[in-house]
Amino acid sequence: MTPFITHLREKAARKSKTIVFPESDDKRILQAAAYLDEHNICRVMLVGSEREVRNTAESHGIRLSGPVLFSEPGKDNEAGKFAKHLFERRKHKGMTEDQAAAVVQQPLFWAASLVADGEADGCVSGAANTTGDVLRAALQVIGLRQGSEVVSSVFMMSWDDGRVFTFGDCAVVPYPTSAQLASIAIDSAKTHQSLTGEESRVAMLSFSTKGSAEHERVTLVREALDMVKSKERSLAVDGELQFDAAYVEAIGKRKAPGSTVAGNANVFIFPNLDAGNISYKITERLGGATATGPVIQGLAKPMNDLSRGCKWEDVVDTAAVCALMS
């Protein structure tokens, strides 16, 4: 476990937030729930019948002995309130009141409703559901954070020596527009600072550094940079930068003299999902980094995604992230 992961868990424990898990029939979720409760990292809320969930946990040899909370769709008084909220948000898309009442009974939508209503501080899902399903529930029920153009993601890349870098977007937006790329950069900077406590230094990455090449994809990065600077004047951000110019101090000084970010970046914004996804996996597999994420950002309240191939320890870390983002 890297120092960053230890820091996440310890800091989350001091926040004492409530995180809801809609996939309460998954062994990994139950293992994580027991660990989170035992170590007081967050208050755990599981969606489903308490009796059935506890029976499932016992069948796997898992004891939910602490003050775990339960919320069963359709059994709580919130059902009508949740349905009305969803209907108001989706009636412009043709959703009827009856449809809204049926949709909120689904565990993902029920969990998202608990977050939107303030009964839970965040949601962690995706062990069994696809990213598309998780984001659909999040967008329809919780919605975008004011000022955000798009839902995106980052991976927190950490090492045993204490280094932590933020890579975005690596999981959600395939080919962002300049406005979306700017939003990704701003949200990623905020995520990095909130999770690490460090001041963010953002590099807008490209295959060009400061005009070394001309192409429409380079122009898009430059346009995004201008938007970021106009919206967040105090943010340390620069581009367009190649990765070596953003990461290696000597190369940064040579390729981008006078830049406060070149050679010193800790937040790396990739121009598209191809570059971001490939890069975080190379960094993880060849560079020996621990990848925490995808951390979903841009939502009004946190609802974070898991890989369906996740381990229970990944669920614990994502819950800690979710608690710190709330």
Q: Helices in 60-119 by DSSP H: which ranges?
A: 79-90, 97-103, 107-116
Its pTM stands at: 0.91
Q: Are 295 and 193 in contact (CB under 8 A)?
A: no
Angle between helices 312-325 and 3-15 (to 10 degrees): 50
Q: Whole-angstrom Cα distance, residue 108 to residue 106?
A: 6
- Specify the residue for token string 């995706």: 126
Strands 303-305 and 122-125: parallel
Q: Are 188 and 269 in contact (CB under 8 A)?
A: yes
Q: Are 13 and 40 in contact (CB under 8 A)?
A: yes
Q: What is the pLDDT of residue 218?
A: 96
Q: Are 261 and 240 in contact (CB under 8 A)?
A: no
Q: Please, what is the Cα angle at 187 between 184 and 190, to 5 degrees?
A: 145
Neighbours of 160 (CB within 10 A): 12
Q: Whole-angstrom Cα distance, residue 246 to residue 242?
A: 6
Asked if the domains 3-143+300-325 and 152-290 are classified in one and the same CATH topology, the answer is yes
In the CATH scheme, what is the code of domain 152-290?
3.40.50.10750
Q: Are 140 and 89 in contact (CB under 8 A)?
A: yes
Q: What is the pLDDT of residue 76?
A: 62
Q: Please, what is the Cα angle at 18 between 16 and 24, to 5 degrees?
A: 135
In the CATH scheme, what is the code of domain 3-143+300-325?
3.40.50.10950
* Residues in the chain where the model's pLDDT stays below 50: none
- The domain locations on the chain are 3-143+300-325, 152-290
Q: What is the pLDDT of residue 240?
A: 97
